[in-house]
Structure 1
Amino acid sequence: MARIPFCVQCGTRQNPCHCKVVGPTLGVVAFIIAAVVEWPVGAVVWCFRHAKGRRIMAHPDRVVYPRVSSAIPF
């Protein structure tokens, strides 16, 4: 039997039950997709411009995951 992985965030004030499942789970999926694309690009850019490469590699963690996770209140 295959298990479906999911993420749970409790203690949030975005909905009456104070737990989120859909938003964080989709946030992790979006994070992985963005990371697969942006981390190799960031590594190449980092060879020439360190600060820019770090910003590119941090983008999935600092921008993609929080926006997707907070956009869905369930």
Structure 2
Amino acid sequence: MFKSSPTTVDTPKAERSPLLLTSGSENHTAPKVVVEQPVNLYAGDSKSVTEYHEFEGRGHSLTIDEDWDDVANVTLQWLSSKGF
């Protein structure tokens, strides 16, 4: 990774908004093991909130599949719990 690149993300940055990464338990495109890598990377030594939520029985297209509103509601509740 090039540290001088304008697209470089400072993942362990101490101050940033909360980050929620999501996946479905049946997601074969980006399975849990793949999504957990950026969760761990962003969490690092950061004091900022970084969390993972898995939707049981769901696939990759969480926001366009049937019951997409469950994903929206979980996300809204999570944001609310973080003061947003």
User: Which interval holds the TM-score relative to the shorter structure?
Assistant: 0.3 to 0.5
Bigger Rg over Cα: 1
Q: Relative contact order: is structure 1 or structure 2 higher (C-alpha 8 Å, sep ≥ 6)?
A: 1
More strand by share: 2
TM-score, structure 1 length as denominator? Answer: 0.34
More helix by share: 1
